[in-house]
Amino acid sequence: MGSDLRVGDIMTKEVIVIPFEKSILDVAKLMKKHAIGSVIVVEDTEGKRAKGIITERDIVDKILAKGKDPYQVPIKDIMSAPLRVVKPDTTIEDAAKAMKENKIKRLPVVNDNNELIGILSENDIMKIFPMVVDLIEEKAAIS
């Protein structure tokens, strides 16, 4: 993309998290309440140490499609871990490449202490796409 935009510029800062000890039902309720498709699993109620992610697809593929009882499956058994994360100073281009290479749609953002400070999604990147196209056109006109 070639812009100076960084992950920290466009990430979502309010990340919905859930502690390890909660249930899949709790995860589903959080997703519905906040109209989101994923929840970050954290090791404690402070929510600073991200350990995994649970997506709607995880619930469907790893529980429902396999005929498992969602009330009996612990979060740790279906979350995707370890997490792929980025720092806020990562370029949008590098973050997008990481998403593509790892076939993921979301990247938790952590600070230098590995504390969760945000999340970057494909949708966040798509929101800025028109601006990136404008930048490319401006550079082409200058050259």
Q: Residue 1 has what pLDDT? A: 43
Q: What is 7-142's CATH number?
A: 3.10.580.10
- Model pTM score: 0.81
Provide the percentage of residues in the chain whose pLDDT is more than 70: 87
**Percent helix, percent strand, percent coil in the chain, to nearest 5:** 40, 20, 35
Q: How far apart are CA 82 and CA 14, in angstroms?
A: 21
**Nearest Cα residue to 47 out of 103, 119, 106:** 119
What confidence tens digit (pLDDT) does each residue in 67-96 have?
A: 998 888 889 889 998 889 999 999 998 999
**What are the strands, taking DSSP E only, across the chain?**
17-19, 38-42, 50-55, 106-110, 116-121
Cα dist. 140→6, 93, 131, 133, 137 in Å?
22, 18, 14, 11, 5
Q: What is the mean pLDDT of residues 3-31?
A: 89
Query: CA-based Rg of the chain, rounded to a whole angstrom?
Result: 17
Cα dist. 8→78, 94, 115 in Å?
29, 13, 14
pLDDT tops 90 at residue 66: yes
Task: With cut-offs at 50, 70 and 90, classify the pLDDT of residue 130.
Answer: low
Which region among 29-33, 48-52, 117-121, 139-143 has the lowest average model confidence (pLDDT)? 139-143
Q: Residue 136 has what pLDDT? A: 60
What confidence tens digit (pLDDT) does each residue in 32-62 have?
A: 999 999 999 998 767 688 899 999 999 999 9
Name the 3-class secondary structure at 106. Answer: strand
Q: Residue 135 has what pLDDT? A: 60
